[in-house]
Amino acid sequence: MKTGLRGAFFPLLLAVLTASGCTTTSGGKTSADGATVATGPGVYISALQGGLVSRNSAAQLSKADMQRALEAEYRALEAAPGGQPVVWQGQGVSGAVVAAAPYQVGSQNCRQYSHTLTVNGRDTATRGAACRNADGAWTPLS
C-alpha cells in the first residue's frame, strides 16, 4: 500500500470502526447460553461473505478457484504474519493475499488486508478489513 493511500485509508477505516463499534455477526449453531458458535471450516470461509475477491471486477472465477481464493483470505487473516503473502493458484488465475498487523477495536481483533488477483497476466488489487467475531470467524467490514 502506498503511503498516500494508507494515510487516507486508515483514518477513514478508524472512523468507520469507531462509529460502527466493529460489530460483526456470522452463522453457526446457538449454544445453551444463547451465543452463536461456528462449526466446521466451511462456516469460517462463508463468514467472509465472498471476501475481497468477490469485490474484484476481474473476478470471474470457477467455484473451485473461488474456494481457493477464500481459503487464502482466511489463512492470511488467521495466521499469516503481517506483510507475508498467502498465495494461491487456480486454472489460469492466481492470487496473493497480504494481511497487515492485527489491531484491537474494543475487544475484537481486526486486520486490514489486500487481495491481488492475476488474470491473463494482469494484476488487480482489492483492499479491505475484517474483524474476528466471538465465534472465531472473520467477517469483512463493509
CA-closest candidate to residue 1, choices 10, 79, 93: 10
Summary mean pLDDT of the chain: 76
- Taking only the tens place, the pLDDT of each residue in 18-33 is 333 443 433 444 444 4
Q: pTM of the full predicted structure? A: 0.69
Q: What is the pLDDT along the chain (142 residues), one digit of tens a residue?
A: 444 444 444 343 333 333 334 434 334 444 444 544 444 556 677 778 788 888 876 668 899 999 999 999 999 999 999 999 999 999 999 999 999 999 999 989 999 999 999 998 999 999 999 999 888 899 888 7
Longest dimension (CA), the chain: 51
- The CA-based angle 15-21-22, given to 5 degrees, is 90
Using the structure block, give the residue that is written with the C-alpha cell 473461488.
Answer: 66
Give the chain's length.
142
The domain locations on the chain are 38-140
Q: Give me the residues paired with residue 109 across strands.
A: 104
